[in-house]
Amino acid sequence: LLAMPGLALANADLESKMANPKNWAAQAGDMFNQRYSKLNQINKDNVGKMQVAWMFSTGVLRGHEGSPLVIDGMMYVHSPFPNKVFAIDLDTQKIVWRYEPKQDPFVISQMCCDTVYRGLAYAEGKIFLQQADSTLLALDAKSGKVLWSVVNGDPKLGAVNTQAPHVFGNKVITGISGGEWGVRGFLAAYDINTGKQVWKGYSTGPDAEMLMDPEKTMTWTDGKMAPVGKDSSLKTWQGDQWKTGGGTTWGWFSYDKATNMVYYGTGNPSTWNPTQRPGDNKWSMTIFARDLDTGVAKWVYQMTPHDEWDFDGVNEMILADIDVKGKPTKALVHFDRNGFAYTLDRVTGELLVAEKYDPKVNWASHVDMKTGRPQVVAKYSTSKHTNPEHGPDVNVKGICPAALGTKDQQPAAFDPNTKLFYVPTNHVCMDYEPFEVDYVAGQPYVGATLSMFPAPDSHGGMGNFITWDASAGKIVQSKSEKFSVWSGVLNTAGGISCYGTLEGYLKCVDAKDITKELFKFKTPSGIIGNVFSYEHKGKQYLGVFSGIGGWAGIGMAASLEKDTDGLGAVGGYRELSQYTELGGSLTVFALPD
Amino acid sequence: LLAMPGLALANADLESKMANPKNWAAQAGDMFNQRYSKLNQINKDNVGKMQVAWMFSTGVLRGHEGSPLVIDGMMYVHSPFPNKVFAIDLDTQKIVWRYEPKQDPFVISQMCCDTVYRGLAYAEGKIFLQQADSTLLALDAKSGKVLWSVVNGDPKLGAVNTQAPHVFGNKVITGISGGEWGVRGFLAAYDINTGKQVWKGYSTGPDAEMLMDPEKTMTWTDGKMAPVGKDSSLKTWQGDQWKTGGGTTWGWFSYDKATNMVYYGTGNPSTWNPTQRPGDNKWSMTIFARDLDTGVAKWVYQMTPHDEWDFDGVNEMILADIDVKGKPTKALVHFDRNGFAYTLDRVTGELLVAEKYDPKVNWASHVDMKTGRPQVVAKYSTSKHTNPEHGPDVNVKGICPAALGTKDQQPAAFDPNTKLFYVPTNHVCMDYEPFEVDYVAGQPYVGATLSMFPAPDSHGGMGNFITWDASAGKIVQSKSEKFSVWSGVLNTAGGISCYGTLEGYLKCVDAKDITKELFKFKTPSGIIGNVFSYEHKGKQYLGVFSGIGGWAGIGMAASLEKDTDGLGAVGGYRELSQYTELGGSLTVFALPD
Ligand SMILES: O=C(O)c1cc(C(=O)O)c2c(n1)C(=O)C(=O)c1cc(C(=O)O)[nH]c1-2
Ligand SMILES: O=C(O)c1cc(C(=O)O)c2c(n1)C(=O)C(=O)c1cc(C(=O)O)[nH]c1-2
């Protein structure tokens, strides 16, 4: 027993921290990405009386995503680039230690969608920090001392990081950003104690480099699971294009101990001009289930073959044990950028449900449940290969959703009481004009000009907060919002569901009737962070970062002016500047004494 | 009557706005610098229940001094450099307009003590903005449109601005910063409607340029007021030194309609190495009373002749009608950097009281009431002319207060109910080593190396919040603070006195017993702004900027590391980084519904 303490012990520590609802020990609170807190002191009857308990400014202006962690009375706060870390004593709010990386500011210019960072991970007395420049570090949680550090990618080539590292077992899992620089995506696992790389699986390329077993890695094929076969990626790319083909991995990861699989999605194929890259471009836009120990892909499912709209598939996989079509199911539920919400069997990878979670979605009529492929509407295709009349320099108008999807990085929550998913969404459409572009190492490799606007013939706003039935594949309720809801949701045992808005409001609604707004408070800046909760000295707290930015807020964050700047987001979200200003702060709420 | 609407009308509008306690129409709430609100919904019995109503981030990181203005349901918020202005509708918190000056960032390097800005002024539908680069503008309060702009100084020579413009009558009064660049101080009056300069009075130099009447400008002389006589400044400087002799004017100004005089103080003589500038260096370190219409100096009083410690005399003059030594007096009360609190007759300029407001003050034994001169303790002199054994390259140790004084820019309040002054103070001492320095136009002209530390043999902290009896010249109560209290105080008709701390707490105490802390809340960052209050739709609000910086916070604001950097403040306030981080926000408080 002494000889193999690794996995079991690692899990034991983090799992025990997570099991205690006083902590917020991982970005989603758990490994299932459920974003549900068992605390119930703040509940639907008293949340209206909630007030601000204390605040903390991070000293960084740009977009603040993710949330702090809370472990045993200490809060760990991160910031966007330059990725500062603060350990704050919850008794005194004193800063016990701070870690301020010195990163080359050149990195800023290599980040597509603001200098965001989605947060820290914790395990066994260590805080894991994934810097923008791709350096992954373990810090001593007590002192902030660097225990080890490794380099995960080369920012000069556009390989940077924004996503939170995730600890599963004795490994810290990280991905890579840079789909707009032609970076070849991968997921990598590092040993939490040494920083040694244990495995690395690419999204595209030769089977060996993808850690794919042609015989054993399964995928949905003609209504059932079948092996992917040899060179499943190589066959879907022209020549060497897979080498600069994107499929980056900058989202939220999840893990199920029972299956020992890590679940995540891969991003868009590069470039945004699809005519340049004929084929399905596998395994971009794909849900991956990898074995935690070996990294080998157990199953894959590509949602948007030959992407023509930048519908990155990285959004979080929420693991939930629910009834699907009457059958108790170990489900994986995923709200994709492409506007379809997918329910899969997370053990086998079988496709169970795929339905639109915004009725305005128009680029595909539906997902063919046998092939698993979306049925593209030719009118909204931007690729010559799909619609011979379209292609480079043809401006395709009125595509819904816009490139930032019906949902982007903002994570949804699952409430085990209502069995519903609480989904912060975008209600935005676009015009998309692809153009020919050459790959130049280290330079943006985008190849499309975009304009974004609120979904036409709707409520005029750019967002909805919805509840979703993942078995029926149906919206249960929808609450309109002026702007996209770019903040992560938290549900709690108090019967509430809370999220932030781009204007800067934290809102809590009744989980059973989300049209009932029970609490609303204007924080210092627009909210793109995720709501979290913890308990300290008998009191429940609820917190959220404010700090406008991210892709939706890129105009303000990076002082961009032209409508089509910021990959098209500047014009779409221009009105934001009438509501809020930059500035990163944590606001912590509680009930009055 | 139609022929001379100027003065009377101008006053009428601003005075009527000020008379309505629902507004906060000037930086101090009034023209007397009393910082007292007649609102009493929030009072000493319920202030403990006060909570945050809403927040606003300014999008600027460095030190946030001053406060917003509130006029008829609209709030006007300013920021440090680049001196943004936001007009916020108090019904919706929507940004109705914003003005973002484009200033050359070079200006930042010409600012001694952080890129602070102490706020806007209002009158007759105009918002007056004094930019760091010295441009003074009038903006249309409804639209933010620029109505006029004038240039007040040359940043290339170190002439910048940080102080709030003040409207008195039909004039907007502004000063100048740059004492550490050898800038020659002045006060200037501009017509609020046209921006035309009406008068400009220098602090030093020929009588005509100082707007001094050798026969009629009076000063305290041998126990009575007497004319200053011819060349009163020129005689106290060697050669042309007055041209680069400082005496800048970056504080808060006040005005009494009854005397029609503007009251303000002038800053330190340049350089900080006093041996280089023999003489009294008049009229640096001086309280000025100027006629509003003509600018002519009615009376002057120099507090620290031949300054040897950078004891700028710019702190605000508080006008109050109080009994002094049993006699009803139109008083002017001033808490000087040098550690003495002065009570003068503001009509005549007579010196009535001059006493230490921190018992640790040691550089002078007392102020001789006949001559009005401080009696310097030779041991703490840094000038060869005062102590032949001291001078350049001699490190003089243990001087109290430090250069940032027993009080700096942070304004005190006067409470008409208790007749006491509520004074935010520094409790800091220093070592001071002057050195020879040459004047180079546009370069810092400092000439001393400083170290700062908490006043020895005291409570260990660096600040006190005190109440002061300006008749007796005595501290009534003193409440110790860990750091200097760098925030402006507000007293209200609710019987409370509120101030911020450098750790970031807003505190409200019982005005009758300031040791009773009734409310305490941790805002996002350290507080160097001033507390203000307003009423909207029947509800009283209390607000304050947080955003660490200013001279005390310069280490954090400008990322300085060496103890003696930031003119000695970096070492002294190093511990601040354990409590707070940068970031400018407004926090607005109210009672729960
Ligand atoms: O392809 C990529 O590598 C990549 C990276 C990122 C990122 O790292 O933030 C985003 C995107 N793509 C992207 O498509 C996107 O919509 C997006 C939104 C955001 C955000 O934080 O608001 N990041 C990203
Ligand atoms: O001599 C000058 O012109 C000048 C200017 C300023 C300023 O403009 O802020 C300060 C000072 N001096 C100064 O001596 C000082 O203590 C000081 C503190 C502060 C601040 O805002 O915290 N400014 C200034």
Q: Could you tell me which of A576, A588, A545 has the C-alpha nearest to residue A61?
A: A545
pLDDT digits (tens, 9 = 90+) for B466-477: 999 999 999 999
Question: A84: nearest CA in chain B?
Answer: B581
Q: Is the peptide bond before A283 cis (omega within 30 degrees of 0)?
A: yes
Q: Could you tell me which of A468, A477, A590 has the C-alpha nearest to residue A46?
A: A590
Contact between residue B302 and residue B269 where contact means Cβ atoms under 8 Å apart: no
Catalytic entry in B13, B133, B310, B408: B310
Structural domains in chain B, sorted by start: 6-590 (2.140.10.10)
Measured distance CA(B259)–CA(B347) in Å, rounded: 6
Question: A58: nearest CA in chain B?
Answer: B581
- List CB contacts (< 8 A) between A58 and chain B: 581, 583
Contact between residue A486 and residue A479 where contact means Cβ atoms under 8 Å apart: no
Q: Could you tell me which of B226, B173, B178, B182 has the C-alpha nearest to residue B200?
A: B173
Would you say residue B160 has pLDDT above 50? Answer: yes
Contact between residue B434 and residue B275 where contact means Cβ atoms under 8 Å apart: yes
Does B144 touch chain A if contact means CB atoms closer than 8 Å?
Answer: no
Contact between residue B103 and residue B115 where contact means Cβ atoms under 8 Å apart: no
Containing A210, the helix (H) or strand (E) segment is helix A207-210
Instruction: Give the position of tokens 């924004």.
Output: A162
CA distance A583 to chain B (A): 5
Structure tokens at B154: 């040359």
Q: Is B372 left (phi over 0), alpha (psi -120 to 50) or beta?
A: left
Residues with C-beta less than 6 Å from any ligand 1 atom: A 65, 112-114, 116, 162, 177-180, 248, 250, 267-268, 310, 312, 404, 408-409, 550-551
pLDDT, position A227: 98
Contact between residue A60 and residue A84 where contact means Cβ atoms under 8 Å apart: yes
Supply φ then ψ for residue A368, to 5 degrees: -70, 115
CA-A250 nearest atom, ligand 1: 8
pLDDT, position A12: 87
Q: Is B445 left (phi over 0), alpha (psi -120 to 50) or beta?
A: beta
CA-A163 nearest atom, ligand 1: 8
Residue A179 Cα to ligand 1 middle (Å): 8
Is the reported ipTM for this assembly greater than 0.90?
yes
Does A93 touch chain B if contact means CB atoms closer than 8 Å?
Answer: yes
Structure tokens at A75: 């809060």
3-state secondary structure of B269: strand
Contacts 24+ apart (CB under 8 A), A213-218: A213/A296, A213/A297, A216/A296, A216/A298, A217/A296, A217/A297, A217/A298, A217/A299, A217/A300, A218/A298, A218/A299, A218/A300, A218/A348, A218/A349
Would you say residue B486 has pLDDT above 90? Answer: yes
pLDDT digits (tens, 9 = 90+) for B298-326: 999 999 999 999 999 999 999 999 999 99
Does A83 touch chain B if contact means CB atoms closer than 8 Å?
Answer: no
B9 band by pLDDT with thresholds 50, 70 and 90:
very low
Contact between residue B424 and residue B499 where contact means Cβ atoms under 8 Å apart: yes
Instruction: Give the position of tokens 């709430």.
Output: B29
Measured distance CA(A100)–CA(B390) in Å, rounded: 43
Does A561 touch chain B if contact means CB atoms closer than 8 Å?
Answer: no
Handedness of CA A105, A107, A110, A116 (dihedral sign): negative
Quote the percentage of chain B above a pLDDT of 70. 98
Residues 6+ apart with CB under 8 A from B15: none
Ligand nearest to the CA of B547: 2
pLDDT, position A7: 44
Sheet hosting strand A135-140, strand order edge to edge? A121-123, A126-130, A135-140, A146-151
Chain-wide mean pLDDT for chain B?
97
Measured distance CA(B428)–CA(B437) in Å, rounded: 26
How far is the CA of A119 from the CAs of A80, A545, B211, B474, in angstroms? Answer: 9, 11, 61, 53
Which of the 8 DSSP states describes residue B165? P
Q: Tens digit of pLDDT per residue, chain A (593 long)?
A: 344 444 444 478 999 999 999 999 999 999 999 999 999 999 999 999 999 999 999 999 999 999 999 999 999 999 999 999 999 999 999 999 999 999 999 999 999 999 999 999 999 999 999 999 999 999 999 999 999 999 999 999 999 999 999 999 999 999 999 999 999 999 999 999 999 999 999 999 999 999 999 999 999 999 999 999 999 999 999 999 999 999 999 999 999 999 999 999 999 999 999 999 999 999 999 999 999 999 999 999 999 999 999 999 999 999 999 999 999 999 999 999 999 999 999 999 999 999 999 999 999 999 999 999 999 999 999 999 999 999 999 999 999 999 999 999 999 999 999 999 999 999 999 999 999 999 999 999 999 999 999 999 999 999 999 999 999 999 999 999 999 999 999 999 999 999 999 999 999 999 999 999 999 999 999 999 999 999 999 999 999 999 999 999 999 999 999 999 999 999 999 999 999 999 999 999 999 98
Q: In the Cβ-directed half-sphere of A310, how many Cα atoms lie within 13 Å?
A: 30
Structure tokens at A329: 């199911």
pLDDT, position B310: 98
Does A482 touch chain B if contact means CB atoms closer than 8 Å?
Answer: no
Cα–Cα–Cα angle for B382, B387, B390, rounded to 5 degrees = 50
Give the count of beta carbons closer than 10 Å to the beta carbon of residue A7. Answer: 16
Residue A297 Cα to ligand 2 middle (Å): 63
B310 catalytic, yes or no? yes
Contact between residue A451 and residue A572 where contact means Cβ atoms under 8 Å apart: yes
Q: Could you tell me which of B438, B433, B446 has the C-alpha nearest to residue B391?
A: B433
Q: Which of B83, B113, B446 to mutate to test the pocket of ligand 2 (most atoms within 8 A of CB)?
A: B113
Residues 6+ apart with CB under 8 A from A418: A467, A511, A512
Which of the 8 DSSP states describes residue B80? S
Residue A65 Cα to ligand 1 middle (Å): 12
Would you say residue B355 has pLDDT above 50? Answer: yes
B6 band by pLDDT with thresholds 50, 70 and 90:
very low
Measured distance CA(B565)–CA(B570) in Å, rounded: 6
What letter represents residue B241's amino acid?
A: Q
Q: In the Cβ-directed half-sphere of A208, how many Cα atoms lie within 13 Å?
A: 0
What letter represents residue A63's amino acid?
A: G
